[in-house]
Structures are given as C-alpha cells and as structure tokens.
Amino acid sequence: MSTNDKIQARESDTTTKRGARRWLSRAVVVVYGLVMFEVVIMVSPFAFYFYAAYGPTLKWLNHSAATAWLTGFLLPHAVFTTSPFLEFVRWDLGRYFFGLGLLAFFVLAGQIYGSKLFGRRLVNSGIYRYIRHPQYLSLGLSAFGLFTMWPRVIIFLLFVGMLFVYYFLARVEERRMLAIDPSYADYIRGTGMFLPGNPGGRLYRLLFGNVCEKKFARRLALASLLALVLLVAFGLRAYTVRHIARTAVLPNMEVVSVYPMAATAMRQLVSMALSDPSVQQALQREGSATFVAHVLPHDYGMIGMFADVGTHHMTPGNVRLSRFKYLCGWLLPFLDSHVRTDLMGSNGQEYQVVFSRVDGPNGLPVSSRRLFDLSAKMTPIYIADVNATTRQVSRTIEPPRRSFWGDVKMPIF
C-alpha cells in the first residue's frame, strides 16, 4: 500500500469514528430527553397518555432483579425529610437550577445566533469571556434540576451520561474551531471549559498530570469521576432513608409520614386505622405480605402516586389554563411561591393512611429489612381517613390495585 493510500485510509477511519461518535452522542441525548420528559409530563394534563406509552417500558424493567433497581428513586419526592440539606436541594436548588438554566440556555442561544447574523466567527463577550461552553453548562444545570424533582435511578444515570456526552461534544467542537481558526488556542488558554478558572483542568493536572500516557490518563480520570458520582448518589439515597419520618408498627409493617412526626404519633394514627374491621380484613387477605403505611395530609396533592382514588387534578380531559399555570409554577418557582402547600398538603389533624403491600421484582413480599430497596414496589391495598382529634376513622376506601398512572413504580418516600 502506498503512502497516499495509507493516509487516505487513516482519514477515512478518522471520519468514520467521528461520525459514529456524533450519532452516539445524539442517541444518548435523545434517550435522555425522552426519559427526562417524564418529569415535566408528570405534572401536566397529558400524563395519563404519556404513561400509556412509557409505562410498559418501566414495568418491563421492573420484572427482573437485574434491572428493577433502575426504576427506583434516589432522593425524596413524596415526603418531607428531617434534613434541611435535602429539602434545600429539592425545593430550592433543583427547581431554580431548572428554571434559570433553561432561561440561560435560550439567552445564550440568542447571543450565538445573533453573532452569526453579524458574521462573527468567535463569540467571546459576556459569559463567554470566562467559559467556552456556557450553553452546555446551562443545560446540565437544568437537567440536574429536573432530576431532583423526579429522581429515578435511570434518570440519574442518563443525566450523568449526558454530562459526559457534553464534555466530548465540547472537545470535538474545540478541535474543529482550532482547525478553522488557530487563534482559538489563545481563547482556550484564557478561559475555562465549563467553569471560570478551569478548576476541573487544575484538578486533573494535580491528580493525573504525571501519568505519561495522556489517553490513559483521561480515561482514568473519567472512570474515577464516574465512580465518585455514583458513590455520592447512592450515599445520598442512604442519607435520605435515614432522614425519613418512619417507624415500625408491626413486624411486617413500617409507617412513613409525609410531614416529620414523632414515632409515637405515627403509631397512634396507624393503630386507629388498624382498629377498623374493614382495614383488618383487607390486610388479612394479603397473607404474609409486608406493608408500608403512608400517613398523608387529608389535602395531599399527590395522592395519585399512592392510589387511584378518582380525585386527581390531572384527570384526562380536565385540561384548563389553570393547570398549565400550575405546571409553570411547579417548574419555575419564582412564578408561584405556594407550590409546596399545593403538592404536600397542610399539616393538620386530618390524615389519610394508605396501606400498601411491598413486593420485589418476583412479585413476592420483601422482608421488612428490604422495604426500602431500590427494587421494592408498592401496591395500594386500603385507605383509611383518620381524625387525630376525635381519634376516629371517618371513611375507608378500597382503591384499585394501582396508582393513578397505572401499574408503574412510584416513589415510596
């Protein structure tokens, strides 16, 4: 083979690899976008139709112990925890990251396309004076915000994958810019890739700068970063479980309260519900099942996650302008300061106690020690309305054995 043939073969191989990388990165972003769309659609009037198509995928994943953990949840969603840090992440940091990140992305997009209209090859004004890829940063922040609102494991893993894809896309774009404009190298030296001052680059040089093989050093750094991120994520889940208001009331039953509550008070409320003969009969029919009893405020706004009681505000056909206002207020917190009360209800003296059996991927009851495993799935059995003042059960409901969204795993905390 001649020298020219070898050069052409190398160029062809390089072009093929670049094309494969581009298609792979696009595929990851599309898949991530579809899964993350669950977060937005959950609070929209179209959730019922979305789960008709998306639900079978989640149920298929939940049938095997090898994949059921992917549909579990990492952070709190259905309850308030006793951790100020977790509450800040969910109600403030995450929601503001989503709204402001999305807003920043569109502003920066306007700056980019505006510069193209004026024939400018390089944008280096505004935030571009300090970082080279603020649009990717904005999308990453927005995606993190969405994850904190609906923290499924599969969403988290795809979120992390998306961040890695953005990093590789940024490197590809920079190589392309260097080929077009060699002065771009000066711009790279004076700015950070995603953060001002390039702290990531400094840390990389400190930890892996002495590794002789640069390609191996980059792969080692990325693998180390991935391991660290996963360790932090599952550490946060363990931290979450330790900060839930929960207590055992029976050897096969754990109580979880939406609002932090003393263990004695939780046991008293559930004992009142258990004193009702219809509740006793419903639980006895489940045989040796393991149960979780959720103590919900009477006006809890997300009751549809636990059971289909026919009163969910996102019922199909119930599409009004106010519903879209609710959606905007939930995703953009600076538009609505009352979203916590709307979602979580008020902490009063009237409660709904939702009894659910908890099973593993094989459909068999989990042990009490594994009640909060990622693969555990709830099935609603019975509901009792309890008044803590009168100490009476005012109403009982035997709901369908599904949530409002069907037979899809919902958060246990």
Here the tokens at position 174 are 């920079």
Q: Is residue 405 in some structural domain?
A: no
* Predicted local distance difference test score (pLDDT) of residue 206: 86
Same domain, yes or no, for 304 and 236? no
Residue-range definition of the domain harbouring residue 101? 3-241
- Label residues 373-404 b or e (16+ Cβ within 10 Å = b): bbbbbbbbbbbbbbbeeeeebeebeebeeebb
Q: Does the global pTM surpass 0.85?
A: no
Same domain, yes or no, for 233 and 254? no
Specify the 3-state DSSP secondary structure of 387: strand
Residues 6+ apart with CB under 8 A from 335: 328, 329
C-alpha to C-alpha distance for 328 and 339, rounded to whole angstroms: 10
Q: Is residue 347 in some structural domain?
A: yes
pLDDT per residue, tens digit, the chain (413 aa), is 555 554 555 555 555 555 655 665 566 556 555 555 555 555 444 455 455 556 777 888 888 889 999 999 999 999 999 999 999 998 888 888 888 888 888 888 888 777 666 666 677 778 888 998 898 898 888 888 888 888 999 888 888 888 888 888 888 888 888 888 888 888 888 888 998 888 888 888 888 888 888 888 888 888 899 999 999 999 999 999 999 999 999 999 999 999 999 999 999 999 999 999 999 999 999 999 999 999 999 989 889 889 988 765 444 444 444 455 555 655 566 655 566 777 888 888 899 999 999 999 988 899 988 999 999 999 999 999 999 999 999 999 999 999 888 888 999 99
Q: Is residue 411 in some structural domain?
A: no
Specify the 3-state DSSP secondary structure of 385: strand
* Predicted local distance difference test score (pLDDT) of residue 393: 92
* Predicted local distance difference test score (pLDDT) of residue 170: 87
C-alpha to C-alpha distance for 67 and 63, rounded to whole angstroms: 8
Of 241, 269, 291, the position where a domain reaches its end is 241
Q: Is residue 258 in some structural domain?
A: yes
Q: Are strands 246-250 and 253-257 parallel, antiparallel or unpaired?
A: antiparallel
C-alpha to C-alpha distance for 152 and 70, rounded to whole angstroms: 7
Same domain, yes or no, for 185 and 265? no
Same domain, yes or no, for 35 and 49? yes
Q: Is residue 262 in some structural domain?
A: yes
Same domain, yes or no, for 153 and 295? no
* Predicted local distance difference test score (pLDDT) of residue 336: 58
DSSP code, position 382? E
Same domain, yes or no, for 159 and 306? no
Same domain, yes or no, for 172 and 296? no
Q: Is residue 404 in some structural domain?
A: no
Contacts 24+ apart (CB under 8 A), 117-122: 121/180, 121/181, 122/177, 122/181, 122/184, 122/187
Same domain, yes or no, for 273 and 391? yes
The identity of residue 141, as a single letter, is L
C-alpha to C-alpha distance for 372 and 358, rounded to whole angstroms: 9
* Predicted local distance difference test score (pLDDT) of residue 231: 94
Same domain, yes or no, for 25 and 88? yes
Of 207, 241, 275, the position where a domain reaches its end is 241
Q: Is residue 402 in some structural domain?
A: no
Same domain, yes or no, for 123 and 249? no
Element (DSSP H or E) covering residue 22: helix 3-42
Residues 6+ apart with CB under 8 A from 294: 78, 255, 256, 257, 258, 306, 353, 354, 356
Same domain, yes or no, for 272 and 190? no
* Predicted local distance difference test score (pLDDT) of residue 45: 46
Of 241, 274, 309, the position where a domain reaches its end is 241
Same domain, yes or no, for 231 and 301? no
Residues 6+ apart with CB under 8 A from 90: 75, 76, 77, 148, 149
Q: Is residue 356 in some structural domain?
A: yes
Structural domain tally of the chain?
2
* Predicted local distance difference test score (pLDDT) of residue 321: 47
